[in-house]
Amino acid sequence: MSRIFWCLFFTVWPIIAIVVCAISPAMDWAFPGNREAATPLGQRIDDLFFLITGIVTVTFIGTMGALSYVLWKGSKNEDEKGWYSHGSHNLEVIWTIVPAGVLLFIALYQLDVWAIYRVRDHENRDVGPRPSHLVAEVTARQFEWRIRYPAPGTKFTTYKQIKAWLAKPHAGDVYAVNKLFVHLNRETLIYLKSADVQHAFFVPDLRVKQDAMPGQSIDIWFTVNKSGKFNLTCAELCGWGHYKMRGEVEAVEDLEARLKELKDLQDYDGVTPPGTVPAGASEEATP
């Protein structure tokens, strides 16, 4: 009796697990909003994720199936002795080679994505940034994201210029907090800094995550190809208010115009002739 119970027990729970995973997208337990990534690279990450999921699922079913099978057989084994075997050399070889192959495949298959994601661009920094770059400086601090854009219309042609800009505040810089505007369908280059402790710039919808290390300026780049607003959170414990670091990344068609707007807001002196006063200017002050 208890034999059947336990056999079933060890057979059923993997099934439940698989079912739960299977229904998870329907239950909105999958990627945020159950949407595909909003960056091309993110979509490749998703593909990778599902590929691994496929392999893992097969392995899981296989192992668990085998486990329940041997349990079932072994538990109703009636002869007075077990099978006297110290193993099989061939089997050992097989289940060493096969997993090794699969694992190696995974390892090599994903190298490319990673290379594009960080390494490749990281290697050839001597080429100037493409003119379509939006450069922004995002400084994480307890517990908010302080953002600085170059003056609207600024075009960087060399990384040297960018470094110079990063080095100190410049006239016409646009400041913002917690809300980052980026180009739609154009590459965004962000210099990530930390004002105090370690934070992490995490935009789930973009599959982007990078720690902000104190004392370092780390560059990350991505291209958002879906318009909309995406949650920005902190993914590295940064103190008691870790969870408070709620930000937003918004991809817009005409970024220049948006920055211009911000700039006008920031230059508001209280007596700008009516009409050009940005909405809510009387209330809002830029940080």
Partner 1 sequence: MSTVNPAAAAEHDHDHDDHHGHHELSFIRKYVFSTDHKMIAVQFLITTLLMLLVGGSLALGVRWQLAWPWQNMPVFGQMFGSEGGQISPEFYTMLFTMHATVMIFLVIIPILAGAFGNFLIPLMIGADDMAFPTLNMLSYWFMWPAIFFFGLSFYFGGAAAGWTSYPLLSALPEAAPGSGHAQNMWLVAVTFIGVSSMMGSVNYMTTIINMRAPGMTLFRMPLTIWSMFITAILQAFALPVLTAAGFMMLFDRAQLGGALEGIHTSFFVPSGIVVNNAAPTVGGGQALLWQHLFWFYSHPAVYIMLLPAMGMVSDMLAAMCRKPIFGYKPMAYSLAAIAGLGFIVWGHHMFTSGMNPALGMTFMVSTIMIALPSAIKTFNWIGTIWGGKIRFNTVTLNCIAFVSQFVVGGLSGIYMAAVPVDIYIHDTYFIVAHFHYVLFGATLFGVFGAIQFWFPKMFGRMMSERLGKIHFFLTFVGFNGTFFPMHLLGVAGMPRRYADPYIHPYLEHLMPMNQFITVCAIVMGLAQLILVYNWFSSIYWGTEAGRNPWNANGVEWIAPSPPPHGNFDEVPTVYRGPYEYSSPLVEGRDYLMQTEYLPPPGSDDSGDAADDQPAENGADES
Partner 2 sequence: MISGSRPIRGPGSDPAEDNTLTTRHSILRLLALLPLVVGCADYQAEFVNDERVAALETTSSVAATNLTNSLNTHFGTPNALVAWGALPIEFGEISGTVLSATGNSLRVSLEGDPPTALNHVAVVLETKTPQNRMASSYDADTRILTLTEQEAAPAVTPGTPLRLIGHKLQAGRRLYMQHCMHCHGVTGDGNGPTARYIRNHRFNPLPRDYRRGLFKFTSTKNGFYASRDDLRRTVRQGLAGTYMPSFLLIDPDELDAIVEFVRFLAMRGEIERRLLTHLAPLMPTDDGDPPKDLQSLEKELAVDTFNEALADAASLVAENWTSADAPENLVIPTTARLPDDEKSRLKGRNLFISTKINCAKCHGEGGRGNGGFLKDIQKNPETQQNYPTPGLRDAWHKMIQPRNLTSGIYRGGRRPLDVFRRVTAGIKATPMAGFATVPETDRWHIVNYVLSIPIDGAFFDEHGHQYHGGDDSHADHDHPHDHEADKPADKPADKPADKPADKPADKPETTQPKSAKDKK
> Under rule CB under 8 A, which residues in 78-107 are in contact with partner 1?
79-89, 91-92, 95-96, 99-100, 103-104, 106-107
Instruction: Considering only residues 175 through 234, tell me which ones interact with partner 2, judged by CB under 8 A.
Output: 175, 177-179, 193, 195
Residues in 45-84 at the binding interface with partner 2, rule: CB under 8 A: none
Residue with tokens 């400084």: 139
Q: Which residues contact 30 (CB under 8 A, 6 or more apart)?
A: 24
Cα Rg of the chain, angstroms: 27
* Nearer to partner 1 (CB atom), residue 76 or residue 155: 76
| 18 contact choice in partner 2, partner 1, none (CB below 5 to 8 Å, kind-dependent) | none
Does 245 engage in binding with partner 2 (CB under 8 A)? yes
**Minimum CB distance to partner 2, residue 136 (Å):** 13
Helix residue ranges, H only, 150-241 = 159-167
* Nearest distance, CB of residue 11 and partner 1, angstroms: 10
Burial of 222 (0-12, 13-18, 19+ CB in 10 A): buried
167 binds, among partner 1, partner 2, none (CB under 5 to 8 A by kind): partner 2
236 is a site residue for partner 1 (CB under 8 A): yes
Measured from the CB atom, is 147 or 189 closer to partner 2?
A: 147
CB 199 within 8 A of CB 236: yes
**DSSP state at residue 118:** I
Distant-in-sequence, close-in-space partners of 140: CB < 8 Å, separation ≥ 6: 146, 192, 193, 194, 195, 199, 201, 212, 234, 238, 245
Closest distance of CB 128 from partner 2, Å:
21
Q: Which of residues 3-32 bind partner 1 (CB under 8 A)?
A: 3, 6, 10, 13-14, 17, 20-21, 24, 28-32
Give residue for tokens 């002050």.
285
Q: What is the DSSP string of 49-69?
A: HHHHHHHHHHHHHHHHHHHHH
Q: Min. distance of Cβ 180 from partner 2 in angstroms?
A: 11
Give 49 or 268: the residue with its C-beta nearer to partner 1.
49
